[in-house]
A and B are shown apart, each in its own frame.
Chain A
Amino acid sequence: MLELKLVKESLFLNVLEAILDLVAVASVSCSSTGLKLQAMDAKGVAFISLLIPAKEFQFYHCDKDLSMGIAIGDMVEAIRSADKDGTITIKASDENFRNITVSIESPECNETTSFSLLLVTLKRFCIPELQGLLKKYDACVQMPSVDFMRICKYLSNVDGDVDISTIDKGIRFFALGKCGCLNVKYMQPEKATDIDISVQAPVSLTLDLKYMNSFAKVSALSNQVKLCLSKGQPLVVQCKIGQKTKSRIIYLLAPKIKG
């Protein structure tokens, strides 16, 4: 049996809101240590992995490992109407493993609304263990998420693709659209800061801009974001969710191949 409780204004729900423009259904695995959500966008271009340790929830109990397909779009839609201080409880039982129950309790505890959400069948897709993969990556950029969001906002003025390339002591974002082009150079400052750009080998990736803008939404929930690039490999965008937590989200974005 699984039971977890959270307040409506929790980071978990804010993250779900932020990823909904990419995915509407997700594979959710729960164990005694926490919850893992994985989802791929409809075109199979972006992959999202979200990890929330059990202690991040107001209450968390899972006595048996569970894996289920959840229409997170429908779930978030139902929770949106709840009071901002309301408490959300999500339950799944072993006896009836065809749906989950989501209950919303008002802050005064005088009103409870429950709804049953049918589970969906999803073909699971597993990616390799990422930390091992990233050791072989060519370049990593740790940067404040406000910088990443600002750059994505600049890029959103150009409709098309973005080329992210390593340059001497930094990286370059270049977008070419119908109305013109945009060039952003992001360099490693001389003084120690919260920016860390490490380049083992030159790399350049061409990526669909619309996905970058979706990633920027989630990075708004975190102070720092880390981009990892490697030749011919998906872009990896990682960020911790919130401060002083071990919750984290990882995006993978498949590049475009020129020619």
Chain B
Amino acid sequence: SGVQRSIKEFYRST
């Protein structure tokens, strides 16, 4: 397992 990222973390700057 790992740390779940969120979609917002990837596109926050856009």
Please indicate the chain B residues that have their CB under 8 angstroms from the CB of A256 in the complex: 1-5
Q: Are B6 and A254 in contact (CB under 8 A)?
A: yes
The reply to whether A46 and B2 contact each other, CB–CB distance below 8 Å, is: no
**Per-position contact with A for B1-14: 1 when CB-CB < 8 Å, else 0?**
11111111111001
Considering only residues 38-68 of chain A, those with a C-beta below 8 Å from chain B are 40, 43-47
- Chain A residues, CB < 8 A from B6: 43-45, 254
Q: Are B10 and A208 in contact (CB under 8 A)?
A: no
**Which residue of B1, B2, B7, B14 is within 8 Å of A44 (Cβ)?**
B7
Determine the chain B residues whose CB is within 8 A of the CB of A233 once the complex forms: 10
Q: How far is the CA of A112 from the CA of B14 in the complex (A)?
A: 45
Q: How far is the CB of A130 from chain B (nearest CB, A)?
A: 11
- Nearest-neighbour CB distance to chain B for A253, whole angstroms, equals 8
Number of residues on chain A facing chain B (CB within 8 A): 23
Partner of A206, one of B2, B7, B10: B2
Q: Which residue of B lies closest to A128 (CB)?
A: B14
Note all chain B residues with C-beta closer than 8 A to A127: 7, 11, 14
A257 within 8 A of B: yes
Per a CB cutoff under 8 Å, which of B3, B8, B9, B11 touches A128? Answer: B11
Shortest CB-to-CB span from B3 to chain A, Å, is 5
Interface residues of A, Cβ cutoff 8 Å to B: 40, 43-47, 125-128, 160-161, 206, 208, 233-234, 252, 254-259
Chain B residues with CB under 8 Å of chain A are 1-11, 14
